[in-house]
Amino acid sequence: MIDQIYSIACDFGSSGGKIFLSKFENDKMTLEEVHRFSLTPIKVNNYYYTDFIYMYNELLKGIKKVVDMGVQPSSLGINSWGVDYGYIDKNGELLSNPINYRDTRTIDTIKKLEKIGLGAKELYDITGISCMPFNSIMQIYEDIQGRADIVNNASKLLFTPDLFGYFLTGNASSEFTIASTSQLVDVNKREWSEEILNKINFSIDKLPTLNEPGTKKGVLKKEIADYLGCQPFDVIAVASHDTASAVLSAPITDDKTAYLSSGSWSLLGVELNRPILTEEAFENGFTNEMGYDNTIRFLENINGLWTIQLLQKKYQISFNDMEKLARDNIKDSHRIDIIDNRFYNPKDIEDEILSYYKDTNQPSVSKDQRGIIIASVYNSLAESYAKYISSLKKLLNKDIKTLCIVGGGTRDKLICELTKEKTGLEVSVGPIECTATGNILAQFKALGILKDTKEMRNLVINSFEIKKI
């Protein structure tokens, strides 16, 4: 029997971070939140920045809380949202806080890339990744054009989880699942695409070595361990893109099951052994992100509960009240295109939705008809899920019978119910903290506790409540 094993999951989202302690004992895992903090992009002059130094300090606070509980961790893993990165110089110092992916500097960058032979289809054929305005390649190209001094002085570009790993261990490397979101990795060769890098004039020497998820990134620096009051422990390169960790935690039991990672973004797709790079897949907006154990996360990025969250902030009412207003108006016919760029980062979400109604010749709605506005977002989101499930069935040429919904969106009963109704699928819900769970699973595998993905997902089923709706 394996003794108690303790691992730490650092789960960073673009709106905040959470540090979890997990214990493996008696063939079950526990997950305890020990620290959390909020995070808001900061506008300084021309750009929205992510405060990395603040995040790093909060990470150390979280580890210290674990140590103060009398726990010596065996390992730690870090996951975050994709595409964002920072530069370190030849001395290993951070050159600048990372620019946040919701900055609007890259909205039209694809038009610039088209002029150098890197249109959306060319990029898709190489990387399998759909063009989104925030993809790393778009950001890097804007850096080359407008922040050349920083690029020229950079020794390495490191994605968000890799930055943390570097400062904790001193080792610079990148793990495949986070790197694949950059739109710089050749999905078939599983290496940085020299063709793309040459066209954008970015040196491959500035990119780190690529590693498989589940490999050891390094050992916590002794001076950091001494500061925290613990012994050095392993830092594991988990499936460090948050969606990759979320999918790893999804209780997928067969190849007729799709997943939906439901949060600010909705990631809807299936797990495959190889990418699908057909014209039909490209036209339908599906992307091929790299997953755990050489899998492909064939999925659609959908602007998920972000719009609901913006409305909640606008109206200053509880999510429960939001849900009640939506239920009272759920039969209303108003709809929005949930993936329209106008809802990506609007100045005023309510004004944008009302403007959309007008632009699409829908009946006018006044600002005091909040229930109709909220209901239209719920209905539009659930109907978008149904649309992409239908597309998946056609692209895969097979049936999909079950949908596993994981993530914070599982707390929203209405969207789960609507998803079941609109898709007509059997729906399971949970785990809620899916990214942290997947993060820990990869650590347990690296520590030799679990042998394969099947054991990982069985551990999830045995350890957490998975509901059928």
Token pair, residue 286, equals: 């599906």
Indicate if 242 belongs to the active site.
yes
Q: Which of 143, 234, 242, 332 is catalytic?
A: 242
In whole angstroms, how far apart are CA 94 and each of 21, 80, 138, 172? 28, 18, 21, 13
Contact assessment for residue 6 and residue 22, using Cβ atoms and an 8 Å cutoff: yes
- Secondary structure string (H, E, C) spanning the chain: CCCCEEEEEEEEECCEEEEEEEEEECCEEEEEEEEEEECCCEEECCEEECCHHHHHHHHHHHHHHHHHCCCCCCEEEEEECCCCEEEECCCCCECCCCECCCCHHHCCHHHHHHCCCCCHHHHHHHHCCCCCCCCHHHHHHHHHHHCHHHHHHCCEEEEHHHHHHHHHHCCCEEEHHHHHHHCCEECCCCEECHHHHHHHCCCHHHCCEEECCCEEEEECCHHHHHHHCCCCCEEEECCCEHHHHHHHHCCCCCCCEEEEEECCCEEEEEEECCCCCCHHHHHCCCEEEECHHHCEEEEEEECCCHHHHHHHHHHCCCHHHHHHHHHHCCCCCCCCCCCCHHHCCCCCHHHHHHHHHHHCCCCCCCCCCHHHHHHHHHHHHHHHHHHHHHHHHHHHCCCCCEEEEECHHHHCHHHHHHHHHHHCCEEEECCCCHHHHHHHHHHHHHCCCCCCHHHHHHHHHHHCCCEEC
Q: What angle do CA 440, 260, 357 make, to 5 degrees?
A: 135
Alpha carbons 436 and 79: distance in angstroms, whole number: 8
Residues marked as catalytic: 242
